Structure 1
C-alpha cells in the first residue's frame, strides 16, 4: 500500500512541492444547477429581484478560482495565471463551466472545481427567493493537463446528468 501524501504519522500535512519544477497546467470543470419552474421563470423573465444571477455567478466563479487555498485546507496557494468561467441557461438548468491555468509546481484541478461550485452557490443565492428547491449537481472535473500524472479527460458516459425529472418521490 502506498503512503498517503497528505498524512504523516496519522497527522495531516501539506505536501512539500518545493523541489518540483513549475510547469504549465490547465483544468476544466463543470457543475449544474437544476431549476424548478419558479426559478426558471424568474431567470427567463428577468423578474429576479436580486438582479442577473448568471452575471453574478460568472464573477463569483472567477473570484472563487483565486481563493481555493483559503477554502480547501491542504491545497497550495498557487498563481492563477488564467481563468475563464462560462454560465449558460440550458433545458436541464444552469450549466457552469470553468477553465483555470497556471505555471506552478502543482495542478489547478481544485481551482476549477472551486470556480464552478462557487458560481453554482451564487446562482442558488440569487434565485432562492423564487424557489429553494434548486439542486446543485454534476460537479466534476472534465479534463486536466500538465503535471506528473499526465492528462485526464472525463468519460462522457460517466456524466451525471441534471436532466432527471423534478417529479421525485418524497421522503
Structure 2
C-alpha cells in the first residue's frame, strides 16, 4: 500500500485526485448499517403504522438522493454517473438494517456513494420514528445508528 496521500499536494494543500488518465470500468460498492430501535417502534415500522408515514419508502428515497448527491457533500468526491442503486431494508428484532448497492461506469469508485446512501437512509428512519423512541424522561435509551461500513467493492476492467 502506498504511503503517499493522494488528497494532498506537494505543499500539503487539499486536492481532488486526478483520475483523468484512468480507464473507465464497471464499478460496484455495497455498504450496510443499522439503527437500533425499541421493539414497539420496529413493529410499527414493519406494520406501516408510523404516524409520519411509510418509513422505509421515505428512507429509500432519501438514500437514493444521498447517493446521487454525494459529490456535493464529500469535498474530494468526484461527481460520477450512477448507473444503478439497489436498496434493501430488513426489519429485525432489534434494528432496521439497510444495504445500499451502487453501480457506475467510470474512472473512480462508488463506495462513498454507498456509504452516504446508508447514512442518510438511517437518518431518515430516525427522523420518521424519533417521537416513538422517546422514553418518559425524554431520552432515547435504545436508539443507535451503528455498524456503517463498506462490505463489497469491485472493479471489472
| Range into which the TM-score falls when normalised by the shorter chain | 0.7 to 0.9
- Whether contact under 8 Å (2:48, 2:55) holds in the other structure is no
Distance change in 2, residues 1:64/1:20 (3 Å): same
Q: Identify the residue that residue 7 of structure 1 maps to in structure 2.
A: 8
What CA distance in whole angstroms lies between the structure 2 residues aligned with 1:73 and 1:124?
25
What CA distance in whole angstroms lies between the structure 1 residues aligned with 2:47 and 2:30?
30
How many residue pairs align between the two structures?
148
Q: How does 1:1-171 map to 2 (within 5 A)?
A: 2-8=3-9, 9-132=11-134, 133=140, 134-146=143-155
Q: Which has the higher contact order (CA 8 A, sep 6+)?
A: 2
Q: Identify the residue that residue 137 of structure 2 maps to in structure 1.
A: none
Structure 2, unaligned runs of 5 or more: 135-139
Q: RMSD in angstroms over aligned alpha carbons?
A: 1.7
For 1:129, what is the secondary structure of its paired residue? helix
- Whether contact under 8 Å (2:34, 2:122) holds in the other structure is yes
Q: Identify the residue that residue 154 of structure 1 maps to in structure 2.
A: none
